[in-house]
Amino acid sequence: MTAATPAAPRPSTGPIALAVVRARSWKVPIALSVFALGAVVLFIGFAAKGRTDFRFSQSSDFFRIPDLTVAAGPVAVVLAIVAVVMAAASWAIVVRGRRVHPWFTAVFAAVFMAGFLTWAAAGEQLPFTALLLGAVTLSVPLVFGALGGVIGERAGVVNVAIEGQLLGGAFCSALVASATGSMTLGLVAAAVAGVLVSFILAAFAIKYLVDQVIVGVVINVLVTGLTNFGYTSILSADPEHLNRRMTLPNLPIPLLSDIPIIGPVLFDHTIIVYIAYVAVAAVWFGLFHTRWGLRVRAVGEHPQAADTVGIDVNRTRFWNVSLAGAIAGLGGAFFTLGSVGIFTEQMTAGQGYIALAAVIFGRWDPIRATLAALLFGFATNLQNILGIIGSPVPSEFLLMLPYVVTIFAVAGLVGKSRAPAADGKPYVK
Amino acid sequence: MKLELRGITKRFGSLTANDRISLTVEPGEIHCLLGENGAGKSTLMNVLYGLYQADEGEILLDDVVQHFSGPGDAMKAGIGMVHQHFMLIPVFTVAENVMLGHEQTRGLGRLDLPAARARVREISARFGFDVDPDAVVEHLPVGVQQRVEIIKALSRDAKVLVFDEPTAVLTPQETDELMDVMRRLKEQGTGIVFITHKLREVREVADRITVIRLGKVVGEASPTAGNTELASLMVGRAVELTVHKEPAQPVDSGLTVNGLTVLDAAGAKVVNDVSFEVRGGEILAIAGVQGNGQTELTEALLGLQAKVEGSIELDGVELAGRSVRQVLDAGVGFVPEDRNEDGLVGEFSIAENLMLDRSSGAPFVRGGNVQTKALNAFAEEKLKEFDVRAASIQTPVGRLSGGNQQKVVLARELSRELRLFVAAQPTRGLDVGSIEFVHKRIVAARDAGVPVIVVSTELDEVAALADRIAVMYRGGIVGIVPGDTPRDVLGLMMAGEHHTSEGEAA
Amino acid sequence: MSQAQETAAPQPAAPRPDAGKTGATSRGQEVLREIMGGGVVISVLAVLLAFIVGAVLIAVTDPDVQKVSAYFFARPSDTFQAIWHAVGGAYQSLFQGAIYDTARPDFASGIQPLMNTLSVSTPLIFGGLGIALGFRIGLFNIGGQGQILIGGAVAGWLAWSFPMPFPLGLIVAILGGIAGGAVWAGLVGWLKAQTGAHEVIVTIMLNYIAFYLISFLLRTPGALQAKGSNNPKSPAIPTGAQLPALLGTRYAVTWAFVLAVAAVVVYWWLMNRSSLGFRFRAVGENPNAARTAGIGVDRMYIYGMAIAGGFVGLAGVNQVLATNTGGFSSGFDAGIGFNAITVALLGRSRPLGVLIAGLLFGALQSGGYLMQAANGIPVDIVLIVQSLIVLFIAAPPLVRAIFGLPKPGVAPRRARRALAKEAKA
């Protein structure tokens, strides 16, 4: 804490050496302690009885990994104690003025989760592979939506219309695939629908300078109205030709799909899921390593500066919002062609808003946002599976988890997030 | 390359910002564009740079008429600009900023950062800049950021460089260095347009001077012209640069600040162990280059800063740690440096703005109800007293000119019973008439026995108002000196050179 | 960073001629321009435009229109007739379902639809006021759903847990509902004040949390679930706590509507006359200036959200104590939280505007059901028309362009503000 001596003249080009008092962040220790306390209350207070049977393999697997059966009570207690010790350690780390390494937090999360699963599935079999597989599957539309959100917001347009883009994509993919018999065309139609929704957002946000959040919310209402209307008056009138049950086939990737656990979880999916993998990588690479990304980020951070180097801000925004719509729209096809095969009213059920949460939780970064989407998918699927085997935690609380986590995230408890500086601000010369 | 502007006219609605302006810049020449705030200099340059389209007139480069539909065209034609507010993306690196808009790519469409880095290094070497291409711009001091702006323009092979008020954010020493850079550019054959309203700088580097006022060219002057001549050209009449005031009659009581330290959100000491006192009936001017802690200091006085250590005693009452409400109630009047951002609610009427800092309790609120009649009567009275030119007290403040807006702020702050008056950059962006009015009011407050603090980055203003001057540099007070301290001494202090002074020795 | 010494947009040194300075002669012209260019005309045209789009949707999905348009070029008149029939019939049903049913035998039963509209409008007005208050203070409250659910649940729980004679039970339940909504929304204000958490995200998240919380409580015996029932449904509301019918039981409208009108008056007083409202508006227009003027901005966010939540909570009260008196399940918010946003936007956050917008959207909804029953047009058309109205109203230049109206002298407020911001930057 040495104060800079203002008296000493320094060369003017040198960096300004203001004395910095290192701000210690107590957020991590506090958060870990809350979870550790939860572990103690649940795992020890409501001690589990019986054994937990983790099943890793399915009967069809090429390699088989033996099941792991543990005594639920003692194991959960041990893990709770480990969690408490780690939480205490995090306090010690911060007291010494150092930061808690993200890996430390990750290990803590793994310990907590292992303890939770052991405790919650006591006396039952826990299909571990199915748990992860479901998490990946459920997160796919969230990943598409989040990518759409990331691109839009990086370009400076808040994309609350993800929900509408997903829903529009779902509707059009079902309609076009049924009408033409081609699921490929269905996928294309989904992307086009997303773009059309984006056009409304772009027109009102960029040209007419309407508050972007307002436009987004209203668009979601509009698309809900349109798809409900279309469903009742068009699709339902002739479901055989306009809303036929069509699902994309699984395309297991040779060799990779035979790896135990990882294979079925990651490499035995429909084309939409593989598109999602590619999209995440492409958006990440594009945003941070290409001319396109540099310009998108410039426009979202400081549009005036971008303008002065000859970048057409509003055109860049317009096309990137459209691209965002195409990606999110494609995610809409997952609801129809990728899973149930037909369109039903409001089938996206607010997933677009969760995707928006993933964008913020993921700090406007495509990789982090994808991880956030996976976390949310995992929470949902955990609820599904615990619901089947009978869980001591009410399913509603697991369903709440993504939303609670997001509130913690925006409240800055999970790390500071910084939106693109010009996010949500229209650009007027 | 020769640049010529012929009869440029630019209108915004009913307002003519540029009226048939013509000027020529030869290669290897520094052409100064001198004018007051609001004279239309920046508008003209934005026309030149393709950001605005001229309504009439043409731009010629080497006698060929140009049509710029955007900055991209202007850059391609060889015009570069160093903006007053740097046009840099804060979160990008220097190299990324320099390449933005004309990126080179390698395989797979990847950005060719090595090439951009090499370009930055090469140009830096040419001018002796020390700029790390991989530094993130927001972490660089302003002086270096300005160099990045220059590199950015030169990396596009600019033949004509426009500097728009480049010295506003620099210390006098940094300013001198910039002048050297300009001279070097000139030697290499670059034509330079140097926009400023500071006479000293003009006379130092200009080869030619064009003065504009109210959007029109009012004359050309030679660099040898005297200050008074240039100033009267710029303002249109003889200017009295000093305010008439009687010697100060300080009393004993007043404000005592002791060991005041302010931390920003990141924990940096933006105000560092500052101590001073202001007695009733005197004006303490706080001078310094923009961004050396003056803003945070005044905000801390008002209770707007979160992390404050030290003591602020007003007539024996401790103000540190109090809320803004309590500070105002203790009798502090405050004119914020950005009146639109912090001083006024643009959509509110003049009357509503006049009750802004007395929004609960007497005299304008009784029983939770706003006393509209009392407020309107008060507003009518103040409108006259402060000569606010407006249609009525119901006119939204956002529709007034800057000078009238500032009068509304003053009317509000000066009509409470004050024990301390703090005015930050009270005349920024105002026309000369309003400046005189504001200065008179500030002096009147002093003469009424109120301790007054005036924060200003303009040495002219400091010299005109101050009874004593405190100079801030990097969060600390370098020294407190008498009001008649010569400029060169102040300039050195603004660059951080210590000055043993009577003020501190006492 | 340095401040604007010379801004990008011109800042004339001389005092700018003010709009009103032109003198009394042009006063009339100004008023005319204000009406033509400003709010009222744009609002009316936006509604008209939305109805036209609705008509197009009705026409293209109408089976009869589709049939006769097959030979459009042979006999175009058939197509136009079919369109007229479809659209006209639909909008006639809309009117009959919303205002007055000419098919009924007497006036008393003829105005039943209007009474129905008033009843449907009631929660929209409550909700709209809450959202509008948020807008005025610069907060975007998308959490209407959660605030309705919590407010309504608290009101209901008080009603059946502490049975009291009328009107005591009712008053307690109403106050509880207001408090429930206020706490749930106040939490958002508190989070924003404490951590800067963006209210849009937090309110969306709290909607889901409220929904799952109420769902859980509704299936948990001893919480909100009706005794001896296995359904996720609450007990019925005792009559001592029900909002009684206003004009007899043949009409749907209850005393809640009177309460809604009273709420509009309270809102008017709060925003236009009270010192608290002055501070709310100051914070909404310019939080920095408000803070500098000694207004506790953080505290205003908390108060503002809490009061807004109280208004929205009244919508929940209406749902539980007037609409679903037989007991509620977890979806009793009926989308009012989102519809209220459109009400506030259409009403431009002004008290009278919210009242009118609430009545309009109430009419659309109650007419929409008849339209669905009588003409087979999905009631969702109402959602479409409603959202289109809001979009059009938000973009006056678009409406002006479509109807070929002249540009008003002054740029739209938002654009002007954006311009000012840029100039400052």
Q: Are B470 and B488 in contact (CB under 8 A)?
A: no
Q: Which H or E run includes B476? A: strand B476-482
Q: Are A349 and A166 in contact (CB under 8 A)?
A: no
Q: Are C260 and C248 in contact (CB under 8 A)?
A: no
Residue C125, both tokens: 């007005």
In the DSSP assignment, the letter for residue B496 is T
- Taking contacts as CB-CB distances below 8 angstroms, the residues of chain B near A307 are 51, 70-71
Per residue in C180-239, pLDDT (tens digit) is 999 999 999 999 998 888 888 899 899 999 999 999 999 988 889 988 888 899 999 998
Q: Tell me the average pLDDT of chain C.
A: 85
Q: What are phi and psi of B366, to 5 degrees?
A: -135, 130
Q: Quick one: pLDDT at residue B449? A: 92
Q: Would C60 be classed as within a structural domain?
A: no
The radius of gyration of chain A's CA atoms, rounded to the nearest angstrom, is: 24
- CA A203, A204, A205, A209 dihedral sign is positive
CB contact under 8 A, C414 and A221: no
CB contact under 8 A, A9 and B496: yes
Low-confidence ranges of chain B (pLDDT < 50): 501-506
Q: Would C292 be classed as within a structural domain?
A: yes
CATH fold of A129-410, please? Answer: ABC transporter involved in vitamin B12 uptake, BtuC (1.10.3470)
* Candidates C2, C10, C20; nearest CB to B395: C20
The C-alpha atoms of residue A88 and residue A90 are separated, in whole angstroms, by: 5
Q: Which of B384, B414, B444 is the last residue of a domain?
A: B414
- Give helix A128-154 / helix A351-361 axis angle, nearest 10°: 80
Shared-domain flag, residues B312 and B410: no
Q: Quick one: pLDDT at residue B499? A: 56
Q: Is C374 on the interface with A (CB under 8 A)?
A: no
Q: Quick one: pLDDT at residue B242? A: 62
The C-alpha atoms of residue B148 and residue B287 are separated, in whole angstroms, by: 27
Shared-domain flag, residues B381 and B452: no
* Candidates B71, B86, B110; nearest CB to A309: B71
Best residue of C49, C201, C330 to probe chain A, by most A CBs closer than 10 Å: C201
Q: Is C196 on the interface with A (CB under 8 A)?
A: yes
The closest alpha carbon to C115, from C326, C256, C321, belongs to C256
Shared-domain flag, residues B400 and B426: no
Q: Return the half-sphere exposure (C-beta side, CA atoms, 13 A cut-off) of residue A70.
A: 20
CB contact under 8 A, C3 and B327: no
For residue C406, is pLDDT > 90? no
Residue A252: C-alpha distances to residues A267, A269, A276, A338, C109 (Å):
6, 6, 15, 15, 66
CB contact under 8 A, B478 and A304: no
Q: Are B117 and B133 in contact (CB under 8 A)?
A: yes
Q: Would C421 be classed as within a structural domain?
A: no
CB contact under 8 A, A14 and B141: yes
**B332-335 and B420-424: which strand pairing?**
parallel
Residue A183, both tokens: 């699921």
Per residue in B52-100, pLDDT (tens digit) is 889 999 999 999 999 898 888 999 899 999 988 889 999 999 999 999 9
Residues with Cβ within 8 Å of A183's Cβ and at least 6 positions away in sequence, in order, are A177, A246, A248, A337
Sheet holding B420-424, edge to edge: B332-335, B420-424, B452-455, B283-287, B468-473, B476-482
The closest alpha carbon to B128, from B85, B180, B169, B88, belongs to B180
Shared-domain flag, residues B293 and B405: no
Name beta bridge partners: A242.
Answer: none
Q: Quick one: pLDDT at residue C411? A: 42
Residues with Cβ within 8 Å of A132's Cβ and at least 6 positions away in sequence, in order, are A261, A265, A378
The C-alpha atoms of residue B478 and residue B484 are separated, in whole angstroms, by: 17
CB contact under 8 A, B346 and C21: no
Q: Which H or E run includes A28? A: helix A27-39
Q: Is C21 on the interface with B (CB under 8 A)?
A: yes
Number of domains chain B contains: 3
CB contact under 8 A, B89 and A301: yes
Residue C351: C-alpha distances to residues A81, A123, C125, C301 (Å):
58, 60, 10, 20
Q: Would B187 be classed as within a structural domain?
A: yes
* Candidates A7, A23, A292; nearest CB to B498: A7
Q: Is A394 on the interface with C (CB under 8 A)?
A: yes
Q: Quick one: pLDDT at residue B27? A: 92
Q: Would C224 be classed as within a structural domain?
A: yes
Domain at B308, CATH number: 3.40.50.300
Query: ipTM score here?
Result: 0.84
Q: Would B347 be classed as within a structural domain?
A: no
Low-confidence ranges of chain A (pLDDT < 70): 1-24, 58-63, 412-417, 429
Locus of tokens 């640069």? B241
Tell me the mean pLDDT in the region C96-109.
89
- Give helix A72-95 / helix A102-120 axis angle, nearest 10°: 160
The closest alpha carbon to B326, from B337, B316, B335, B317, belongs to B317
Residue A254 preceded by cis peptide, ω within 30: no
The closest alpha carbon to C124, from C307, C263, C281, belongs to C263
The closest alpha carbon to C253, from C175, C318, C174, belongs to C318
CB contact under 8 A, C7 and B429: yes
Q: Are C137 and C300 in contact (CB under 8 A)?
A: yes
- Give helix A27-39 / helix A72-95 axis angle, nearest 10°: 160
Name beta bridge partners: B61.
Answer: B3, B64
Q: Quick one: pLDDT at residue A419? A: 79
The C-alpha atoms of residue B223 and residue B202 are separated, in whole angstroms, by: 7
Return residues 165-204 of A near B (CB < 8 Å).
none
Helices and strands, number each (H, E), in chain C: 18, 0
Best residue of A289, A294, A311 to probe chain B, by most B CBs closer than 10 Å: A294
**B15-25 and A68-71: which strand pairing?**
unpaired
Q: Would B275 be classed as within a structural domain?
A: yes
Residue C98, both tokens: 């919303």
- Taking contacts as CB-CB distances below 8 angstroms, the residues of chain B near C10 are 12, 15, 17, 38, 40, 43
**A125-127 and B369-370: which strand pairing?**
unpaired
Residues with Cβ within 8 Å of A224's Cβ and at least 6 positions away in sequence, in order, are A164, A167, A346, C380, C383
Residues with Cβ within 8 Å of A216's Cβ and at least 6 positions away in sequence, in order, are A158, A159, A160, A161, A164, A201
The closest alpha carbon to A342, from A183, A105, A164, belongs to A183
Give the residue from chain C lying closest to B366, CA to CA.
C275
Shared-domain flag, residues B301 and B397: no
Residues with Cβ within 8 Å of C373's Cβ and at least 6 positions away in sequence, in order, are none
Shared-domain flag, residues B43 and B158: yes
The C-alpha atoms of residue A105 and residue B286 are separated, in whole angstroms, by: 48
What secondary structure does DSSP assign to C277-296, as a single string? HHHHHHHHH-HHHHHHTT--
* Candidates C196, C212, C418; nearest CB to A396: C212
Shared-domain flag, residues B30 and B155: yes
Question: Looking at chain A, which residues constitute the CATH 1.10.3470 domain(s)?
Answer: 129-410
Q: Which of B414, B445, B462 is the last residue of a domain?
A: B414
Question: What is the CB neighbour count within 10 angstroms for residue B498?
Answer: 16
The C-alpha atoms of residue B382 and residue A280 are separated, in whole angstroms, by: 62
Query: How many beta-carbon pairs below 8 A join chains B and C?
Result: 175
Q: Provide the domain limits for residue C271.
A: 121-361
Q: Quick one: pLDDT at residue C74? A: 85
The closest alpha carbon to A129, from A72, A67, A80, belongs to A67
* Candidates C273, C289, C425; nearest CB to B342: C289
Residue C398: C-alpha distances to residues A354, C394, C420 (Å):
32, 9, 22
The C-alpha atoms of residue C152 and residue B13 are separated, in whole angstroms, by: 53
Share of chain C above pLDDT 90, in %: 60
Per residue in C372-402, pLDDT (tens digit) is 999 889 999 999 999 999 999 888 889 989 9
CB contact under 8 A, B475 and A307: no
Cα–chain center distance at B240: 21
Sheet holding B208-213, edge to edge: B79-82, B160-164, B191-196, B30-34, B208-213, B216-221
Return residues 269-298 of C near A (CB < 8 Å).
none
The C-alpha atoms of residue C3 and residue B201 are separated, in whole angstroms, by: 20
Q: Return the half-sphere exposure (C-beta side, CA atoms, 13 A cut-off) of residue C112.
A: 14
What secondary structure does DSSP assign to B85-152, as a single string? S----TTSBHHHHHHTTS--B-GGGBB-HHHHHHHHHHHHHHHT----TTSBGGGS-HHHHHHHHHHH
Q: Quick one: pLDDT at residue A417? A: 57
Residue A131: C-alpha distances to residues A109, A255, A390, B84, B207 (Å):
17, 22, 14, 57, 77
Number of domains chain C contains: 1
Q: Provide the domain limits for residue B192.
A: 3-235
- Taking contacts as CB-CB distances below 8 angstroms, the residues of chain B near C2 are 84-85, 168-169, 290-291
Residue B341: C-alpha distances to residues A405, B304, C7 (Å):
34, 14, 14
